[in-house]
């Protein structure tokens, strides 16, 4: 009987013992820590992958400074060094339907965001695919040509100010990239099958069998011409598809940046000393020399991270901009892509 009473007592105590309750805050904390660990693992893994996959690029490329505006919705397309003011210009567009700004980074690191007006006073809402400059003028790509800006005004307008285009120059295609190099303005178009087509006359089979679907016009700089650039190109280059930028190097190479989407980008260097005339190309009813960029003159192919865009030659190096770290694409933020990188492509 005593044993039964003890058993009943123990059972009663067990029944009255308080149950452990799971604390909601503790669960939330565990979930947050797990998510943070997962994000950290993804970031670390992505950095390892990118640094390994593009090791030759990062071995040569030096991060110079941050691309302005990438945290404010700016999608950078091109960069240019404005010599007179020793500053950098960045063209592009913004998420949404707003006007497309120019950003200026001064020599002391100060950043200014500028708005651009077309010659008729309306806001510039173009893609901002290219910006370049020489002497008294800066040139900004637009649909069917480019806008001419006063370089002194671009270099001095304060943050939030507006630059009014002096004029507009028409070209027989919409420039995807352009750059003034030496005594010429190089201006070309972009091809991607289905989405970005080019005129049939621009699609050329080169002597080595490559299918080049786009072109670069080389306009001579001319102090006697309106706004310093001749109205007719002196030569035409046949180029591969998906080209986003162009520049030259000190040792005479012509460099093209090639990219589309999340595919690997390429910096393609062609030795101009190896180029031979491959016929003629008709521009505005006039025939000019044609040079095909293909395997005969390709001397270097540097694989770069996705979305490498505009390029610029400055002080013996090629400066590279890209768009993957913008708020539109985001993924570049995970591996520090929102920087301008500089590398030598002189074949040393």
Q: What is the DSSP string of 159-209?
A: TT-EEE-SEEEE-SS--SEEEEETTEEEEE---BTTTB---GGG-EE-TTS
Instruction: Encode burial over 331-347: b for 16+ CB neighbours within 10 A, e otherwise.
Output: ebbbbebbbbbbbebee
Write out pLDDT tens, residues 183-199.
999 999 999 999 999 99
Confidence category of residue 27, pLDDT binned at 50, 70, 90: low
Confidence category of residue 331, pLDDT binned at 50, 70, 90: confident
Q: Among candidates 196, 186, 146, which has minimal Cα distance to 166?
A: 146
Which residues lie across from 311 on neighbouring strands?
A: 320
Q: What's the rounded Cα separation, in Å, for the pair 217 and 234?
A: 8
Which residues lie across from 212 on neighbouring strands?
A: 204
Q: Which of 21-25, 172-176, 342-346 has the lowest mean pLDDT?
A: 21-25
Q: What's the rounded Cα separation, in Å, for the pair 209 and 188?
A: 21
Model confidence at 337: pLDDT above 90: no
Q: Which SS3 state, helix, strand or coil, does residue 140 take?
A: strand
Structure tokens at 119: 């010659």
Write out pLDDT tens, residues 79-133.
999 999 999 999 999 988 889 999 999 999 999 999 999 999 999 999 999 999 9
Confidence category of residue 39, pLDDT binned at 50, 70, 90: low
Could you say which DSSP state residue 132 is in? Answer: E
Confidence category of residue 344, pLDDT binned at 50, 70, 90: very high
Write out pLDDT tens, residues 52-74.
888 889 899 999 999 999 999 99
Q: What's the rounded Cα separation, in Å, for the pair 188 and 168?
A: 17
Average pLDDT, the chain: 90
Q: What's the rounded Cα separation, in Å, for the pair 75 and 142?
A: 16
């Amino acid at each position: 009987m005593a044993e039964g009473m003890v058993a009943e007592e123990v059972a009663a105590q067990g029944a009255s013992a308080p149950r452990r309750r799971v604390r909601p805050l503790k669960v939330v904390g565990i979930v947050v820590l797990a998510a943070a660990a997962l994000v950290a693992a993804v970031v670390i893994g992505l950095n390892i992958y990118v640094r390994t996959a593009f090791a030759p690029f990062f071995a040569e490329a030096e991060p110079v400074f941050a691309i302005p505006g990438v945290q404010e919705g700016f999608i950078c397309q091109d960069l240019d060094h404005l010599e007179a003011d020793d500053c950098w210009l960045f063209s592009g567009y913004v998420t949404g339907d707003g006007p497309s700004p120019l950003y200026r980074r001064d020599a002391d690191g100060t950043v200014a965001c500028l708005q651009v007006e077309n010659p008729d006073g309306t806001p510039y809402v173009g893609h901002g695919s290219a910006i370049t400059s020489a002497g008294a003028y800066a040139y900004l790509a637009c649909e069917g040509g480019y806008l001419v800006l006063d370089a002194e005004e671009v270099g001095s307008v304060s943050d939030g100010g507006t630059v009014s285009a002096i004029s507009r120059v028409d070209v027989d295609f919409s420039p995807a990239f352009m750059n003034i190099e030496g005594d010429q303005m190089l201006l070309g178009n972009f091809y991607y099958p289905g989405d970005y087509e080019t005129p049939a006359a621009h699609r050329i089979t080169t002597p080595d069998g490559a299918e080049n679907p786009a072109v670069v016009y080389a306009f001579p700089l001319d102090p006697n011409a309106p706004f310093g650039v001749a109205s007719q190109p002196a030569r035409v280059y046949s180029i591969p598809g998906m080209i986003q930028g162009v520049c030259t190097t000190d040792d005479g190479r012509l460099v093209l940046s090639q990219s589309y989407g999340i595919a690997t980008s390429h910096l393609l260097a062609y030795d101009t000393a190896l180029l031979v005339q491959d016929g003629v190309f008709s521009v505005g009813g006039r025939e000019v020399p044609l040079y095909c960029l293909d395997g005969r003159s390709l001397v270097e192919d540097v694989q770069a991270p996705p979305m490498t865009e505009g390029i610029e030659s400055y002080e013996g190096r090629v400066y590279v901009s890209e768009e993957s770290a913008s708020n539109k694409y985001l993924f570049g933020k995970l591996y520090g892509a929102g920087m301008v990188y500089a590398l030598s492509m002189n074949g040393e």
